[in-house]
Amino acid sequence: MQKRIDLRSDTVTTPTAAMRRAMAEAEVGDDVYGEDPTVNHLEALAAEIVGKEAALFVTSGTQGNQVAVATQVQRGEEVIAEAQSHIFFYEAAAVAAIAGAQIRQVPGIRGVLQRKDVKDAIRPQDVHQPRTALITIENTHNRAGGTFTPLVVLQELSLVAREAGIPIHMDGARLFNAAVASGHSAKEITSYVDTVQFCLSKGLSAPVGSILAGPKEFIQHARQWRKRLGGGLRQAGVLAAPGILALTTMVERLVEDHENAHLLADNLATLPNIVVNMETVQTNIVLAEIQGTGMSAEIFVQALREQGVWASVFGPASVRFVTHKDVTRQDVLDAAHGVANVLKGAY
Protein backbone atom coordinates (compact mmCIF):
# COMPACT_ATOMS: atom_id res chain seq x y z
CA MET A 1 0.00 0.00 0.00
CA GLN A 2 1.11 3.52 -0.83
CA LYS A 3 2.34 5.58 2.10
CA ARG A 4 0.09 8.44 3.16
CA ILE A 5 1.78 11.79 3.75
CA ASP A 6 -0.88 13.70 5.62
CA LEU A 7 -0.29 17.45 5.40
CA ARG A 8 -3.92 18.47 5.92
CA SER A 9 -3.33 19.77 9.44
CA ASP A 10 -1.17 19.40 12.54
CA THR A 11 -4.35 18.17 14.24
CA VAL A 12 -3.71 14.73 12.69
CA THR A 13 -0.68 14.17 14.95
CA THR A 14 -1.01 11.09 17.11
CA PRO A 15 0.10 10.92 20.75
CA THR A 16 3.62 9.66 21.47
CA ALA A 17 4.32 6.35 23.25
CA ALA A 18 5.25 8.33 26.37
CA MET A 19 1.90 10.14 26.21
CA ARG A 20 0.01 6.86 25.99
CA ARG A 21 1.91 5.51 29.01
CA ALA A 22 1.20 8.71 30.94
CA MET A 23 -2.50 8.35 30.10
CA ALA A 24 -2.58 4.79 31.40
CA GLU A 25 -0.82 5.73 34.62
CA ALA A 26 -2.44 9.12 35.31
CA GLU A 27 -3.67 9.80 38.82
CA VAL A 28 -7.28 10.94 38.52
CA GLY A 29 -10.21 12.36 40.48
CA ASP A 30 -13.45 14.21 39.69
CA ASP A 31 -12.33 17.42 37.99
CA VAL A 32 -15.76 19.09 38.32
CA TYR A 33 -15.11 18.88 42.08
CA GLY A 34 -11.60 20.24 41.39
CA GLU A 35 -10.16 16.92 42.58
CA ASP A 36 -8.22 15.65 39.59
CA PRO A 37 -4.55 16.05 40.56
CA THR A 38 -3.30 15.61 36.99
CA VAL A 39 -5.65 18.30 35.62
CA ASN A 40 -4.66 20.58 38.51
CA HIS A 41 -0.99 20.00 37.69
CA LEU A 42 -1.52 20.75 33.99
CA GLU A 43 -3.46 23.94 34.76
CA ALA A 44 -0.80 25.20 37.19
CA LEU A 45 2.00 24.40 34.73
CA ALA A 46 0.16 26.06 31.83
CA ALA A 47 -0.58 29.21 33.85
CA GLU A 48 3.11 29.45 34.78
CA ILE A 49 4.25 29.01 31.16
CA VAL A 50 2.07 31.85 29.85
CA GLY A 51 2.56 34.03 32.94
CA LYS A 52 -1.09 34.17 33.99
CA GLU A 53 -2.66 33.73 37.45
CA ALA A 54 -4.77 30.74 36.50
CA ALA A 55 -5.61 28.33 33.69
CA LEU A 56 -8.44 26.05 32.67
CA PHE A 57 -8.25 22.78 30.72
CA VAL A 58 -10.90 22.90 27.96
CA THR A 59 -11.99 20.32 25.42
CA SER A 60 -10.92 22.23 22.30
CA GLY A 61 -9.56 25.49 20.97
CA THR A 62 -13.03 26.51 19.90
CA GLN A 63 -14.38 25.89 23.40
CA GLY A 64 -11.49 27.90 24.88
CA ASN A 65 -12.09 30.86 22.57
CA GLN A 66 -15.84 30.82 23.07
CA VAL A 67 -15.61 30.50 26.84
CA ALA A 68 -13.23 33.49 26.75
CA VAL A 69 -15.72 35.50 24.66
CA ALA A 70 -18.82 34.50 26.65
CA THR A 71 -17.09 35.30 29.94
CA GLN A 72 -16.09 38.82 28.84
CA VAL A 73 -18.82 39.92 26.42
CA GLN A 74 -22.52 40.68 27.00
CA ARG A 75 -25.41 40.26 24.56
CA GLY A 76 -25.52 43.10 22.04
CA GLU A 77 -21.85 43.96 22.36
CA GLU A 78 -19.11 43.73 19.73
CA VAL A 79 -15.90 41.73 19.41
CA ILE A 80 -13.05 42.96 17.19
CA ALA A 81 -11.45 40.13 15.24
CA GLU A 82 -9.14 39.96 12.23
CA ALA A 83 -11.27 39.61 9.08
CA GLN A 84 -10.08 36.07 8.28
CA SER A 85 -9.74 34.91 11.89
CA HIS A 86 -10.66 31.43 13.09
CA ILE A 87 -13.11 32.95 15.59
CA PHE A 88 -14.99 34.53 12.68
CA PHE A 89 -14.44 31.90 10.02
CA TYR A 90 -14.44 28.48 11.64
CA GLU A 91 -16.37 28.52 14.91
CA ALA A 92 -19.89 28.10 13.56
CA ALA A 93 -20.88 31.69 14.45
CA ALA A 94 -20.51 30.85 18.15
CA VAL A 95 -19.94 34.50 19.09
CA ALA A 96 -23.48 35.19 17.83
CA ALA A 97 -25.00 31.87 18.88
CA ILE A 98 -23.54 31.66 22.40
CA ALA A 99 -22.47 35.12 23.58
CA GLY A 100 -25.16 36.90 21.53
CA ALA A 101 -22.60 39.41 20.28
CA GLN A 102 -21.45 40.48 16.83
CA ILE A 103 -17.99 40.41 15.31
CA ARG A 104 -16.37 43.48 13.80
CA GLN A 105 -14.06 42.15 11.08
CA VAL A 106 -10.86 44.19 10.83
CA PRO A 107 -8.52 43.21 7.98
CA GLY A 108 -4.91 42.77 9.01
CA ILE A 109 -1.73 42.69 6.95
CA ARG A 110 -0.87 39.00 6.45
CA GLY A 111 -3.13 38.30 9.43
CA VAL A 112 -1.49 40.90 11.66
CA LEU A 113 -3.87 43.56 13.02
CA GLN A 114 -2.63 47.14 12.69
CA ARG A 115 -2.74 49.60 15.58
CA LYS A 116 -4.60 52.35 13.70
CA ASP A 117 -7.22 50.01 12.24
CA VAL A 118 -8.04 48.59 15.68
CA LYS A 119 -8.15 52.06 17.20
CA ASP A 120 -10.55 53.23 14.47
CA ALA A 121 -12.77 50.16 14.94
CA ILE A 122 -13.33 50.80 18.66
CA ARG A 123 -16.85 52.21 19.02
CA PRO A 124 -17.47 55.64 20.50
CA GLN A 125 -20.03 55.94 23.27
CA ASP A 126 -23.22 56.33 21.23
CA VAL A 127 -26.73 55.01 21.77
CA HIS A 128 -26.82 53.76 18.15
CA GLN A 129 -23.67 51.67 18.38
CA PRO A 130 -22.71 48.50 20.19
CA ARG A 131 -20.08 48.68 22.90
CA THR A 132 -16.70 47.20 21.90
CA ALA A 133 -16.18 44.61 24.61
CA LEU A 134 -13.20 42.55 23.45
CA ILE A 135 -10.31 42.59 20.98
CA THR A 136 -9.02 39.25 19.70
CA ILE A 137 -5.63 38.54 18.12
CA GLU A 138 -4.88 35.29 16.29
CA ASN A 139 -1.25 34.22 16.75
CA THR A 140 -0.15 32.42 14.66
CA HIS A 141 -2.75 33.28 12.05
CA ASN A 142 -4.14 30.22 10.29
CA ARG A 143 -5.75 31.63 7.13
CA ALA A 144 -2.86 34.03 6.58
CA GLY A 145 -0.54 31.01 6.38
CA GLY A 146 0.81 30.67 9.92
CA THR A 147 2.15 34.21 10.33
CA PHE A 148 3.02 35.49 13.80
CA THR A 149 2.32 38.93 15.27
CA PRO A 150 5.62 40.72 16.02
CA LEU A 151 6.15 41.76 19.64
CA VAL A 152 6.23 45.48 18.75
CA VAL A 153 2.77 45.17 17.21
CA LEU A 154 1.47 43.35 20.29
CA GLN A 155 2.83 46.19 22.38
CA GLU A 156 1.02 48.79 20.21
CA LEU A 157 -2.24 46.85 20.29
CA SER A 158 -2.06 46.43 24.04
CA LEU A 159 -1.60 50.19 24.48
CA VAL A 160 -4.62 50.94 22.27
CA ALA A 161 -6.69 48.40 24.23
CA ARG A 162 -5.57 49.67 27.61
CA GLU A 163 -6.36 53.30 26.70
CA ALA A 164 -9.87 52.21 25.71
CA GLY A 165 -10.26 49.92 28.74
CA ILE A 166 -10.94 46.87 26.54
CA PRO A 167 -9.41 43.45 27.28
CA ILE A 168 -7.48 41.48 24.63
CA HIS A 169 -7.94 37.75 24.08
CA MET A 170 -5.27 35.90 22.10
CA ASP A 171 -6.38 32.95 20.00
CA GLY A 172 -3.01 31.27 20.36
CA ALA A 173 -4.04 27.87 19.02
CA ARG A 174 -0.46 27.78 17.65
CA LEU A 175 1.10 30.08 20.27
CA PHE A 176 4.21 27.92 20.62
CA ASN A 177 4.81 28.02 16.87
CA ALA A 178 4.77 31.81 17.21
CA ALA A 179 7.17 31.61 20.15
CA VAL A 180 9.64 29.30 18.45
CA ALA A 181 9.58 31.24 15.15
CA SER A 182 9.89 34.69 16.72
CA GLY A 183 12.51 33.71 19.28
CA HIS A 184 10.39 35.10 22.13
CA SER A 185 9.04 33.02 24.99
CA ALA A 186 5.32 32.27 25.17
CA LYS A 187 5.28 34.32 28.38
CA GLU A 188 6.73 37.41 26.66
CA ILE A 189 4.13 37.15 23.90
CA THR A 190 1.19 36.69 26.27
CA SER A 191 2.34 39.50 28.56
CA TYR A 192 0.56 41.86 26.12
CA VAL A 193 -2.82 40.16 26.37
CA ASP A 194 -5.29 39.55 29.18
CA THR A 195 -6.43 36.06 28.25
CA VAL A 196 -5.04 33.36 25.94
CA GLN A 197 -6.16 30.06 24.48
CA PHE A 198 -3.66 27.57 23.12
CA CYS A 199 -4.04 24.05 21.73
CA LEU A 200 -2.30 21.01 23.17
CA SER A 201 -3.69 18.92 20.31
CA LYS A 202 -2.00 20.48 17.26
CA GLY A 203 1.77 20.60 16.80
CA LEU A 204 2.25 19.66 20.46
CA SER A 205 0.60 16.31 19.61
CA ALA A 206 -1.60 15.68 22.65
CA PRO A 207 -4.73 13.74 21.65
CA VAL A 208 -7.27 16.21 23.08
CA GLY A 209 -7.58 19.62 24.63
CA SER A 210 -6.64 23.25 24.95
CA ILE A 211 -5.78 25.65 27.72
CA LEU A 212 -7.49 28.93 28.53
CA ALA A 213 -5.45 31.18 30.82
CA GLY A 214 -5.93 34.59 32.41
CA PRO A 215 -6.62 36.40 35.68
CA LYS A 216 -7.89 34.28 38.59
CA GLU A 217 -11.34 35.88 38.68
CA PHE A 218 -11.74 35.45 34.91
CA ILE A 219 -10.91 31.75 35.16
CA GLN A 220 -13.45 31.32 37.97
CA HIS A 221 -16.19 32.67 35.70
CA ALA A 222 -14.80 30.77 32.72
CA ARG A 223 -15.12 27.55 34.71
CA GLN A 224 -18.88 28.10 34.90
CA TRP A 225 -19.12 28.84 31.16
CA ARG A 226 -17.15 25.68 30.43
CA LYS A 227 -19.65 23.70 32.56
CA ARG A 228 -22.57 25.38 30.78
CA LEU A 229 -21.13 24.35 27.42
CA GLY A 230 -20.74 20.73 28.49
CA GLY A 231 -17.01 20.92 29.13
CA GLY A 232 -17.08 19.83 32.77
CA LEU A 233 -15.24 16.51 32.53
CA ARG A 234 -14.82 14.04 35.36
CA GLN A 235 -11.65 11.86 35.50
CA ALA A 236 -10.03 14.12 32.92
CA GLY A 237 -6.52 13.39 34.20
CA VAL A 238 -6.19 10.75 31.49
CA LEU A 239 -6.45 13.62 28.98
CA ALA A 240 -4.40 16.12 30.98
CA ALA A 241 -1.43 13.72 31.38
CA PRO A 242 -0.44 13.84 27.69
CA GLY A 243 -1.06 17.61 27.82
CA ILE A 244 1.66 17.91 30.45
CA LEU A 245 4.09 16.06 28.17
CA ALA A 246 2.97 18.27 25.28
CA LEU A 247 4.17 21.32 27.22
CA THR A 248 7.32 19.81 28.71
CA THR A 249 8.65 17.74 25.80
CA MET A 250 7.09 18.82 22.50
CA VAL A 251 7.67 22.57 22.19
CA GLU A 252 11.29 22.69 21.02
CA ARG A 253 10.76 20.18 18.23
CA LEU A 254 8.40 22.63 16.48
CA VAL A 255 11.61 24.03 14.93
CA GLU A 256 11.74 20.89 12.75
CA ASP A 257 8.19 21.50 11.53
CA HIS A 258 9.14 25.04 10.56
CA GLU A 259 12.25 23.84 8.72
CA ASN A 260 10.17 21.27 6.86
CA ALA A 261 7.58 23.90 5.92
CA HIS A 262 10.32 26.13 4.50
CA LEU A 263 11.76 23.19 2.57
CA LEU A 264 8.34 22.35 1.17
CA ALA A 265 7.68 25.98 0.24
CA ASP A 266 11.06 26.28 -1.51
CA ASN A 267 10.40 23.11 -3.51
CA LEU A 268 6.82 24.03 -4.43
CA ALA A 269 7.91 27.50 -5.53
CA THR A 270 10.19 25.98 -8.20
CA LEU A 271 7.22 24.22 -9.85
CA PRO A 272 5.39 25.78 -12.82
CA ASN A 273 2.02 27.45 -12.11
CA ILE A 274 2.35 27.14 -8.34
CA VAL A 275 2.69 30.39 -6.41
CA VAL A 276 3.84 30.48 -2.80
CA ASN A 277 4.06 33.82 -1.00
CA MET A 278 7.30 33.23 0.90
CA GLU A 279 6.62 36.19 3.20
CA THR A 280 3.88 34.18 4.87
CA VAL A 281 5.96 31.04 5.34
CA GLN A 282 7.01 31.71 8.92
CA THR A 283 5.97 28.62 10.86
CA ASN A 284 4.45 25.24 9.89
CA ILE A 285 1.91 26.26 7.23
CA VAL A 286 2.41 26.60 3.46
CA LEU A 287 -0.31 28.07 1.25
CA ALA A 288 -0.04 27.32 -2.46
CA GLU A 289 -2.00 29.34 -5.01
CA ILE A 290 -2.77 27.13 -7.99
CA GLN A 291 -4.76 29.41 -10.37
CA GLY A 292 -2.14 28.89 -13.07
CA THR A 293 -2.70 25.14 -13.19
CA GLY A 294 -6.24 25.59 -14.51
CA MET A 295 -7.41 23.10 -11.88
CA SER A 296 -9.76 23.89 -9.02
CA ALA A 297 -8.35 23.29 -5.56
CA GLU A 298 -10.86 20.43 -5.16
CA ILE A 299 -9.60 18.64 -8.27
CA PHE A 300 -5.97 19.38 -7.43
CA VAL A 301 -6.26 18.00 -3.88
CA GLN A 302 -8.04 14.91 -5.20
CA ALA A 303 -5.30 14.28 -7.79
CA LEU A 304 -2.64 14.83 -5.15
CA ARG A 305 -4.29 12.29 -2.88
CA GLU A 306 -3.82 9.71 -5.61
CA GLN A 307 -0.10 10.43 -5.22
CA GLY A 308 -0.36 9.62 -1.49
CA VAL A 309 -0.20 13.27 -0.44
CA TRP A 310 -3.07 14.73 1.57
CA ALA A 311 -3.60 18.50 1.65
CA SER A 312 -6.55 20.84 2.40
CA VAL A 313 -8.70 22.87 0.06
CA PHE A 314 -8.28 26.40 1.42
CA GLY A 315 -10.09 28.42 -1.22
CA PRO A 316 -11.26 27.98 -4.84
CA ALA A 317 -7.63 27.99 -6.02
CA SER A 318 -5.77 27.76 -2.74
CA VAL A 319 -4.31 24.66 -1.07
CA ARG A 320 -2.93 24.38 2.45
CA PHE A 321 -0.07 22.12 3.60
CA VAL A 322 0.77 21.83 7.31
CA THR A 323 3.94 20.18 8.62
CA HIS A 324 3.99 18.36 11.96
CA LYS A 325 5.57 15.63 14.09
CA ASP A 326 4.34 12.77 11.93
CA VAL A 327 5.91 13.97 8.66
CA THR A 328 9.65 13.84 8.00
CA ARG A 329 11.98 15.88 5.84
CA GLN A 330 11.87 13.05 3.27
CA ASP A 331 8.05 13.07 3.37
CA VAL A 332 8.09 16.75 2.54
CA LEU A 333 10.42 16.20 -0.43
CA ASP A 334 8.18 13.34 -1.57
CA ALA A 335 5.14 15.58 -1.22
CA ALA A 336 6.71 18.20 -3.51
CA HIS A 337 7.43 15.39 -5.95
CA GLY A 338 3.77 14.35 -5.74
CA VAL A 339 2.73 17.89 -6.63
CA ALA A 340 5.12 17.83 -9.61
CA ASN A 341 3.46 14.61 -10.79
CA VAL A 342 0.01 16.16 -10.54
CA LEU A 343 1.20 19.10 -12.65
CA LYS A 344 2.63 16.75 -15.30
CA GLY A 345 -0.69 14.89 -15.39
CA ALA A 346 -2.47 18.17 -16.09
CA TYR A 347 -0.89 18.59 -19.51
Binding site for ligand PLP (CB under 6 A): 60-62, 65, 86, 138, 142, 171, 173, 199, 201, 210
54-58 and 210-214 beta bridge pairing: antiparallel
Cβ distance to ligand PLP smaller for residue 202 or 223: 202
In whole angstroms, how close is the CB of 303 to ligand PLP at the nearest point? 26
Under 8 Å between Cβ of 137 and 171 = yes
Cβ distance to ligand PLP smaller for residue 210 or 318: 210
DSSP state of 16: P
Under 8 Å between Cβ of 213 and 171 = no
Cβ distance to ligand PLP smaller for residue 54 or 211: 211
Cβ distance to ligand PLP smaller for residue 210 or 293: 210
In whole angstroms, how close is the CB of 181 to ligand PLP at the nearest point? 15
In whole angstroms, how close is the CB of 307 to ligand PLP at the nearest point? 26
In whole angstroms, how close is the CB of 64 to ligand PLP at the nearest point? 8
Angle between helices 329-345 and 297-305 (to 10 degrees): 120
In whole angstroms, how close is the CB of 120 to ligand PLP at the nearest point? 24
Question: Which residue has the closest beta carbon to ligand PLP?
Answer: 61
Question: What span, in angstroms and rounded, lies between the C-alpha atoms of 250 and 254?
Answer: 7
Cβ distance to ligand PLP smaller for residue 262 or 320: 320
Cβ distance to ligand PLP smaller for residue 38 or 66: 66
Cβ distance to ligand PLP smaller for residue 250 or 271: 250
In whole angstroms, how close is the CB of 52 to ligand PLP at the nearest point? 18
Under 8 Å between Cβ of 8 and 311 = yes
Give which of 35, 28, 32, 56 is closest to 44, Cα–Cα: 56
Cβ distance to ligand PLP smaller for residue 166 or 285: 285
In whole angstroms, how close is the CB of 111 to ligand PLP at the nearest point? 10
Question: What span, in angstroms and rounded, lies between the C-alpha atoms of 126 and 42?
Answer: 44
Under 8 Å between Cβ of 211 and 43 = yes
In whole angstroms, how close is the CB of 216 to ligand PLP at the nearest point? 24
Question: What span, in angstroms and rounded, lies between the C-alpha atoms of 79 and 70?
Answer: 11
Residues 6+ apart with CB under 8 A from 77: 99, 101, 102, 130, 131, 132, 133, 134
Torsion sign (Cα): 136, 140, 142, 146: positive
Question: What span, in angstroms and rounded, lies between the C-alpha atoms of 22 and 25?
Answer: 5
